[in-house]
Amino acid sequence: MNIKNKDIINIKIENLALGGEGIGKYNDLVIFVPNSLPEDILKIEIISVKKNYARGLIKEIISPSSKRVNAKCNVVNYCGGCQWMNLDYLEQLKQKEKIVIDTINKIGNITLEKIKNVYKGIIPSKNNYFYRNKVQIPFKFENNRIKAGFYSLKSHEIVEFEKCYIQSELINSIFKDIKKFIVKNNLNIYDEKTNKGFLRHVIIRHSLYTNQVLIGFVTKKGEFHNIKDFISEITKKYSEVKGIIQNINDNKGNTILGKEDKLLWGQNYIIERFKDLQYKISLKSFFQINSEQAVVLYDKIKEFCNLTGKEIIFDAYSGTGSIGLYLANQSKYVIGVESIKDAVLDGIENAKLNNINNFIILNDKVENCFDRIVKKYNPDILILDPPRKGCDKSIFDNIDKYNIKKIIYVSCNPATLARDLRLIIGKNFEIKKLLSIDMFSHTYHIENIALFEKF
């Protein structure tokens, strides 16, 4: 029996997909269902049908999964932030392990026996609520009132919330006061369809270990009415606030940040501390969003490196240099490469801040300079921490011809990790360890570290 749009069917969910949706089958056709969990028996409505799969939405939970729990958040099924808050946390970890194993097996073409020998499982989050150190909240004027919240999954419809259970509690508190100020002063809200209005987003960053806060207002050009009153109120109430910035974005569309920053009060950065290392974080800096688990991640990278103080490290896709700087004191030299200029400047500042003299960071694309850097510095260890799309495959072309003895690959996307893993193994490297770290509790995102050694 073929199915079509608007058909109502019953289905049992068997697994979870990498994108967070539940997977079931109907007459051997794979069906993806958002907000569903393994063991759920559901009545669903089909909303799209493709050649090899279909998608459906829950109409009724006929029999809930034994792993289904009551989510603390009352908008969990509408907000695009958390996909798995209604799934028992231990089961979240099991599902993430299964996704990693299945992905490495199918895309990486690694046997299940080999994966079993190298995969070390997943390290749970120390705190799986209130762990995020950064929030970006869009504003919208709709139905004659100001709305603020997170975008609903795969849309630009704003879902409002009273409290976000994965943002830090201080961020939640400060945002409530920011929203009150915006509503009270009836600020003109940006409309991305017409490219008119003033306020677009609010960004809040919070350093866990130093307890500092940076507030950013993303606006179009124009006068910021009553901002002095806001600064007086917010800094009086929250001593943690160290800086307030206006980021000016006149571009049409949904890109969040513009190029121009205007310091409204205080300083344009906060400081975070990981053990004996300090990081200067600006509004635009890339920084791991779970500070506690970032320390766990960096310690594991250091463990995989097994440094003696003689190693030369090539930190590719370096970002602000946070990993390279974490390793610098126990290595001979670290060379970072990063394509985003602002991140490079942050990396230079962070090296100065920590009096680290054996670290440099260069502004270039990794694929443009890889061979040149390797020939010039002759690194022993290569750190790869690419964006979700993975590495440019050209960097692996000659990797077996160099002195690189170890590769440590850090990835938040198991699919591109698995793809690149095949390329690395094809160049006389062997995977020795694979480890997952839960950086993003209640979501489908998974951080992984893989260790490769040349044979």
pLDDT along the chain (455 residues), means of 10: 89 93 94 95 96 95 96 89 94 96 95 95 96 96 93 86 96 97 94 92 98 97 91 97 96 88 96 95 92 98 97 95 96 96 92 97 96 96 95 92 96 96 95 97 96 96
Q: Which residue of the set 79, 164, 391, 412 is catalytic?
A: 412
Q: How, if at all, do strands 406-411 and 381-384 pair?
A: parallel
Q: What span, in angstroms and rounded, lies between the C-alpha atoms of 118 and 121?
A: 9
Enter the DSSP assignment of 202.
Answer: E
pLDDT at residue 1 in the model: 61
Known catalytic membership, residue 412: yes
Enter the DSSP assignment of 213.
Answer: E
Residues 44/29, Cβ–Cβ less than 8 Å:
no
pLDDT at residue 356 in the model: 98
pLDDT at residue 359 in the model: 98
Q: What span, in angstroms and rounded, lies between the C-alpha atoms of 105 and 101?
A: 6
pLDDT at residue 152 in the model: 87
Residue that the structure tokens 């991305």 belong to: 192
Query: Is residue 413 classed as helix, strand or coil in its secondary structure?
Result: coil
pLDDT at residue 153 in the model: 77
Query: Is residue 311 classed as helix, strand or coil in its secondary structure?
Result: coil
Q: What span, in angstroms and rounded, lies between the C-alpha atoms of 446 and 124?
A: 11
pLDDT at residue 176 in the model: 97
Q: Which of 446, 368, 443, 382 is nearest to 76 (CA)?
A: 443
For helices 89-106 and 414-425, angle between their N-to-C axes, nearest 10 degrees: 40
**Type and span of the H or E element at 438:** none
Angle made by CA atoms 101, 107, 112, in degrees to the nearest 5: 40
Q: Write the single-letter amino acid at 151.
A: Y
Backbone φ and ψ of 298, nearest 5°: -65, -35
Task: Return the half-sphere exposure (C-beta side, CA atoms, 13 A cut-off) of residue 288.
Answer: 29
Q: What span, in angstroms and rounded, lies between the C-alpha atoms of 24 and 46?
A: 13
Query: By CB neighbour count within 10 A (0-12 exposed, 13-18 middle, 19+ buried), where does 38 fall?
Result: buried
Q: What span, in angstroms and rounded, lies between the C-alpha atoms of 344 and 347?
A: 5
pLDDT at residue 308 in the model: 97
Q: What span, in angstroms and rounded, lies between the C-alpha atoms of 413 and 389?
A: 8
Q: Which of 267, 395, 385, 224 is nearest to 318 (CA)?
A: 385
pLDDT at residue 79 in the model: 87
pLDDT at residue 254 in the model: 78
Residues 208/170, Cβ–Cβ less than 8 Å:
no
Q: Kindly state the greatest CA–CA separation across the chain.
A: 69
